[in-house]
Structure 1
Amino acid sequence: MCSQTNPEVLLEKVGRTGMITMNRPKVLNALNLSMIRQIYPQLKKWEKDNETDIIIIKGAGGKAFCAGGDIRAVTEAGKVGGSLAQDFFREEYILNNAIGACRKPYIALIDGITMGGGVGLSVHGRFRVATEKTLFAMPETGIGLFPDVGGGYFLPRLQGKLGLFLALTGFRLKGRDVQKAGVATHFVESKKIPDLEKELVDLKSPSAEDVSRVLDSYQNQTLSKMSPTSLKITFKQLQAGAALSLQDVLVMEYRMSQACMRGCDFYEGVRAVLVDRDQSPKWKPSTLEEVSDQSIDQCFASLGEKDLTF
């Protein structure tokens, strides 16, 4: 098939779902003006349409959601005073606002590279699903621009000074960190995305809460996979270690290592992750509440003459 017949963006109804697929995989689904002009009116139409419940946006090709705006074309126009330099930004920002204001659940599957203009297509929506392949950045200061597409709105609203750091440095967040930073609302393994998509499409007249429930069911929040005992001793280790010398930390950690050898979670964890690889360890105790402070204190107690010495 010659590339001319491949639309740059696919807009289709799948059941009661409006599906937007950026379809320029060779250029990492970079967003151009003609794509913006197709997406915007369709988004407004679906928003008003009683036959459409949710809107999903994704990228074709498996490498990128959308690596940014088609900046090269904009600079060419800017140099010669072409109107594209005004039209592109104006219409892109109008689309960003429409996404932020969308009354139907809007779900961006940011599986792959998501930068600049691609951030504008996702981050203002209600749901943003990252995977281990997500690579998020706002690298505009490196090209003499600034983090636009509403960067001035969402970046300062990330925790602490994280947004300022991302904006100034163009630092790339990867995988799960995209969710931890608050850029994504959910994290789902890439291989589960087709199943997730199908389940979302199959929802019967869903509310935002229904969509939330499906997305939540796909993300096993990592902490629940961890040993409750390990979580508690690690918490205490880092609190104590902040005020200790390296030598004292190593003495403490040797005591902790021997406690783990005496317990059962270490053996069970290695069995589940490295030996049988069923990834479902049975921790004892199985909840944080059941781990007594006394059992944690024992992990830090002196080993007498068996203590580590230098």
Structure 2
Amino acid sequence: MLSTSDPQILVGRTGSLGRIRLNRPKALNSLTLSMVRDIEKALDAFDADPEVAAVLLTGEGERGLCAGGDIRMIYDGGKAGSPEPVDFWREEYRMNARLNRLRKPFVAFMDGIVMGGGVGVSVYASHRIVTERTRLAMPETGIGFFPDVGASWFLTRQQNELGTYAALTGAQLAAGDVIAFGLADSYVPSERLPALADVLSRLPAGATRADVSATVAAFADTPPPGQAAAEQPAIDRLFSFDTIEEILEALAQDGSDFAEKTLGVLRTKSPLSLKVTLRLLRLGRVEDSLEACLEREFSATAAVLRSHDFYEGVRAAVVDKDRNPQWRPAQLDDVTTEDVAAFFKPSAEPLFATDAGKGERP
């Protein structure tokens, strides 16, 4: 049994494999500010250690890798006027950018629940592995927030609208869909993960990404077909618009079971969050760096902390758990241009220096 004194991150080396294990299983390994800082320290140590061939990220417990950021901390901190939510986002987003730039092979076991910030610590890995237990989602529009940790980057790299669908609906994606959506690379049954980790730990210190790929391939299998990806023609047609109103109208006119179900899901989300999210995605689609997307998302968090819908969404989902948020505005028609514009004011304290190296991982 883990006690309250147990470390939230377990860091060590097994052979040539640097291990980072998220260690809050009772909280589904949700991220805290101290965890973000400990991950950064671990990356510093592994970068400096010539004996470390690759880094492996896993989550303790049976339920998943990580359910996201510690939303209750942000909720309580925001209400109290604490600087901790802003500090958390600032350091988390910088960590996301660093993970994307890692030069050593970085393997993430995306087993079980992988949501929100859990996607942020794994989607930038050079080798992203899903299992039959994977349930990946960016569910933020359901709590009055928006998909962050670079979602406006990694959900817009595909030449389709699957990312738009995932961001707006918060749909839970199984392994086949995660791979089809471009958010993972390989499917390995969960029972094979310990053996895979063992083989990875015996790679030579100078192992390349190709060496890691060959190792993973020896354990990989064909994933079950994705259910959402099977609807890609419909998704591409129905989610191609630049306004939520047009998307809802297209869904209403389509008449298919998929369209009706999706329309019902979107009608439960925060109208303001839907508009902000779609705007972030469309701006992210034309950006040339993850850092630019993270910068814009970080600026938007200031408006989140001032918004009604975030606190109401977390209240309904986490605090009172009545699953009955009362959004304000309650209707899309009542969301003003000024409401949305509040999320797109540049931050007075940018995340990244303007001359910092940017771009995708090498």
Question: TM-score over 0.5 for the alignment?
Answer: yes
Superposition pairs for residues 114-125 of structure 1, below 5 Å?
114-125=114-125
What is the alpha-carbon distance in structure 1 between the residues aligned to residue 196 and residue 189 of structure 2? 10
The answer (yes or no) to whether the contact 2:107–2:128 under 8 Å persists in 1 is yes
Are 1:221 and 2:222 matched, yes or no? yes
The answer (yes or no) to whether the contact 1:159–1:181 under 8 Å persists in 2 is no
Superposition pairs for residues 276-291 of structure 1, below 5 Å?
none
Residue 220 of structure 1 deviates from its aligned partner by 2.8
Residues 143-188 of structure 1 show CA distances to partners (whole Å, capped at 9, x for unaligned) of: 1111100101100113410000000110110133222222111100
Task: Flag structure 1 segments of 5+ consecutive residues without an equivalent.
Answer: 224-310
Q: Compared with structure 1, are the counterparts of its residues 152 and 214 closer, same or farther at alpha carbon in structure 2 (3 Å cutoff)?
A: same
1:173 aligned counterpart, secondary structure: coil
1:221 aligned counterpart, secondary structure: coil
Q: Which residue of 1 aligns with 2:155?
A: 155
Q: Which amino acid aligns with 2:210?
A: E
Q: Which amino acid aligns with 2:138?
A: M
Q: Which residue of 2 aligns with 1:171?
A: 171
Q: Which amino acid aligns with 1:36?
A: V
The answer (yes or no) to whether the contact 1:9–1:20 under 8 Å persists in 2 is yes
Q: Which amino acid aligns with 2:142?
A: G
What is the alpha-carbon distance in structure 1 between the residues aligned to residue 158 and residue 121 of structure 2? 18
Q: Which residue of 1 aligns with 2:211?
A: 210
Q: Which residue of 1 aligns with 2:188?
A: 188
Residue 51 of structure 1 deviates from its aligned partner by 1.8
What is the alpha-carbon distance in structure 1 between the residues aligned to residue 67 and residue 173 of structure 2? 14
Q: Which amino acid aligns with 2:48?
A: K
Residue 4 of structure 1 deviates from its aligned partner by 2.5
Q: Which residue of 2 aligns with 1:69?
A: 69
What is the alpha-carbon distance in structure 2 between the residues aligned to residue 201 and residue 145 of structure 1? 39
Residue 107 of structure 1 deviates from its aligned partner by 0.4
Superposition pairs for residues 229-244 of structure 1, below 5 Å?
none
What is the alpha-carbon distance in structure 2 between the residues aligned to residue 222 and residue 4 of structure 1? 38
Of structures 1 and 2, the one scoring higher in RCO (CA 8 A, sep 6+) is 2
Residues 239-261 of structure 1 show CA distances to partners (whole Å, capped at 9, x for unaligned) of: xxxxxxxxxxxxxxxxxxxxxxx
Superposition pairs for residues 8-47 of structure 1, below 5 Å?
8-47=8-47
Q: Compared with structure 1, are the counterparts of its residues 222 and 55 closer, same or farther at alpha carbon in structure 2 (3 Å cutoff)?
A: closer
Report the aligned-residue RMSD. 1.4
The answer (yes or no) to whether the contact 1:18–1:52 under 8 Å persists in 2 is yes
Q: Compared with structure 1, are the counterparts of its residues 77 and 222 closer, same or farther at alpha carbon in structure 2 (3 Å cutoff)?
A: closer
The answer (yes or no) to whether the contact 1:139–1:170 under 8 Å persists in 2 is yes
The answer (yes or no) to whether the contact 2:116–2:138 under 8 Å persists in 1 is yes
The answer (yes or no) to whether the contact 2:9–2:22 under 8 Å persists in 1 is yes
What is the alpha-carbon distance in structure 1 between the residues aligned to residue 172 and residue 8 of structure 2? 26
The answer (yes or no) to whether the contact 1:131–1:176 under 8 Å persists in 2 is no
The answer (yes or no) to whether the contact 2:66–2:113 under 8 Å persists in 1 is yes
Residue 2 of structure 1 deviates from its aligned partner by 6.0
What is the alpha-carbon distance in structure 2 between the residues aligned to residue 222 and residue 57 of structure 1? 21
The answer (yes or no) to whether the contact 2:127–2:185 under 8 Å persists in 1 is yes
The answer (yes or no) to whether the contact 1:136–1:178 under 8 Å persists in 2 is yes
TM-score (norm: length of structure 1): 0.70
What is the alpha-carbon distance in structure 2 between the residues aligned to residue 58 and residue 207 of structure 1? 21
1:69 aligned counterpart, secondary structure: coil
What is the alpha-carbon distance in structure 2 between the residues aligned to residue 222 and residue 78 of structure 1? 41
Q: Which residue of 1 aligns with 2:100?
A: 100
Residues 38-86 of structure 1 show CA distances to partners (whole Å, capped at 9, x for unaligned) of: 1112212212321211000000112110011001101111112101021
What is the alpha-carbon distance in structure 1 between the residues aligned to residue 120 and residue 2 of structure 2? 30
Are 1:56 and 2:56 matched, yes or no? yes
Superposition pairs for residues 237-256 of structure 1, below 5 Å?
none
Residues 107-141 of structure 1 show CA distances to partners (whole Å, capped at 9, x for unaligned) of: 00011100000000000111110000000000011
2:29 aligned counterpart, secondary structure: coil
Q: Which amino acid aligns with 2:221?
A: N
TM-score (norm: length of structure 2): 0.60
What is the alpha-carbon distance in structure 2 between the residues aligned to residue 178 and residue 106 of structure 1? 18
What is the alpha-carbon distance in structure 2 between the residues aligned to residue 141 and residue 48 of structure 1? 39
Q: Compared with structure 1, are the counterparts of its residues 220 and 64 closer, same or farther at alpha carbon in structure 2 (3 Å cutoff)?
A: closer
- Between the aligned residues of both structures, percent identity stands at 43
Residues 8-63 of structure 1 show CA distances to partners (whole Å, capped at 9, x for unaligned) of: 11011111211000011111111111111111122122123212110000001121
What is the alpha-carbon distance in structure 2 between the residues aligned to residue 11 and residue 37 of structure 1? 12
Residue 222 of structure 1 deviates from its aligned partner by 6.0
Q: Compared with structure 1, are the counterparts of its residues 214 and 86 closer, same or farther at alpha carbon in structure 2 (3 Å cutoff)?
A: same
Q: Which moved more, 1:1-10 or 1:61-70?
A: 1-10
